[in-house]
Amino acid sequence: MIINLEIVRVNSNYCDYLRKFDNKVAYNRNEKELRPFIGILFKIDTCQYFAPLSSPKPKHKKMKNTIDFLKIKQGELGAVNFNNMIPVKEDNYFLVDLNKETLTTAELKYQKLLKEQLNWLNKNYHQVQNKSFKLYQLYNNGKLPENVRNRCCNFKLLEEKCLKYNV
């Protein structure tokens, strides 16, 4: 049975909380503004996980897929950063409405990109699920190359902290 992936936005306060325990939790802020922390939602074992999406960049087309990085449509639509995946509970995120009316041309363009990313990811669901699960297992079993391990979040530690988080 295939469960469709969903696009969600993670609460920035929750990310700040997790970052107290693991500095590899990605920032959703830059110097000018709060960026939306948008990604896909899926399950690993009994835990829900969020993996951030990256908007398309020229470098993505040249990069290779790795155990912790997946190009979306050969990089044309961006990428998924599995090394930055974090556990979430339902009160840590909300679904992004990809059908709401947009106000500006930029918002319409971004909404179109998210729809295209989600469509590609759902068509490649097994690849997404297998990559996330394999990374999770290898990290937790201490079997990742050190350079990959060093850029990954500590999944088990963050699962423990996720359970203790009070909104």
- Reported as a pLDDT band with limits 50, 70 and 90, residue 165 is very high
Q: How far apart are CA 132 and CA 115, in angstroms?
A: 21
- Reported as a pLDDT band with limits 50, 70 and 90, residue 32 is very low
CA distance to 6, 29, 142, 148, 160, per residue, from 38 (Å): 10, 12, 29, 23, 22
- 118-161: pLDDT as tens digits: 999 999 999 999 999 999 999 999 999 999 999 999 999 999 99
Q: How far apart are CA 28 and CA 157, in angstroms?
A: 20
* Contact criterion met (CB below 8 Å) for 134 and 144: no
**CATH classification code of 6-164:** 3.10.129.130
Weakest mean pLDDT among 51-55, 61-65, 102-106, 147-151: 102-106
- 72-112: pLDDT as tens digits: 999 999 999 999 999 999 999 988 888 888 778 888 898 89
pTM over 0.85: yes
Does the pLDDT value for residue 65 go beyond 50? yes
> What residue segments make up the domains of the chain, in order of their start?
6-164
